[in-house]
Amino acid sequence: MGMLELRYLPVGMGATNCYLVMNKDTRELVIIDPGDDPAKIKQAVSKIEGKPVAVLLTHGHYDHMMASNQVKKEYHIPIYAPRAEREVLADSAKNLSGGWMMKPYHVQTDYWAEDGEVLHLAGFEIRMILTPGHTEGSCCYYMEEEHVVFCGDTIFLESCGRTDLPTGDMSQIRKSIHIILDTVPDDTELYPGHGEATTAAHEKAFNPFV
C-alpha cells in the first residue's frame, strides 16, 4: 500500500465503517463516511496523530453522513460528495434522516465530484466512480496505486447493498458491481460500508449479484 495507512472504526447504530485514509509520510488523512459518533472519530484521529484534509461521502444515507458537519467544523475541512447524489443529500425523506432518525440532517457539502474525476487529497489520487443502485448517486472511491476501493453500500462481502429504499434500483446495482470488478485488478482490496473487507477476485468468484 506504499504511503497508505488505513484505519477504520464502526460508528452509529448501523455500525457503518468510517475509514481514516492516512498518508504515512505527512500524517494527512481523508475521512470516508463519518456516519455518526464525531467524538469517537476525533479520538481515533488524535490517537494516530492524523491531520484531516477532507471528508468523502460514498452516498447520502444518514448512517454514512450524520457526523459530517461536526467533523468539517472540528477540522475546518471540505466535504466531497457525488454530484449525482445531490438530491438524496438534500432530501431528508430520501436520505432517511427524517423518517428513521426523526431529525432531518442536511450535509454542508463543499464540492460535488463528477463520475471519473480524480481527487488529489493527502498526497493520494482518489478516483470517484459513480455506482448507482443503492441510491441514485452512490459512488466508490478507487485508489489505483494502492489497489484499494472504498465501496460504500455498493459491494459487500459476497453481497450488495439493499435497493428497496428511495432511489434504489437492483438492475443498476448489478451493473455497478460489474463496473467496479471490470475496472480493478483481481488483487484489489474492497472496503465496504458495513462488514468485512474483501477482494475483487473473491467477489468475482462468490458474489451472487455478479
Tens of pLDDT along 23-51?
999 999 999 999 999 999 999 999 999 99
pLDDT at 101: 58
Q: How many CB atoms lie within 10 A of CB 159?
A: 16
CB 151, CB 180: distance < 8 Å: yes
Q: State the amino acid at position 26 in one-letter form.
A: T
State the Cα–Cα distance between residues 19 and 29, nearest whole angstrom: 10
Tens of pLDDT along 158-168?
999 999 999 99
Rg of the Cα atoms in the chain: 16
State the Cα–Cα distance between residues 34 and 12, nearest whole angstrom: 9
CATH superfamily label, 4-206: Ribonuclease Z/Hydroxyacylglutathione hydrolase-like (3.60.15.10)
Tens of pLDDT along 67-111?
999 999 999 999 999 999 999 999 999 999 887 656 788 899 999
State the Cα–Cα distance between residues 62 and 66, nearest whole angstrom: 5
pLDDT at 105: 87
Tell me the pLDDT band of 138, cut-offs 50, 70 and 90. Answer: very high
Q: Which of 102, 203, 108, 185 is nearest to 148 (CA)?
A: 185
Q: What are phi and psi of 66, to 5 degrees?
A: -70, -15
Give pTM, 2 decimals. Answer: 0.97
Output the CA–CA distances (angstroms, integers) from residue 96 to 130, 155, 194, 210, in the order listed: 21, 20, 17, 28
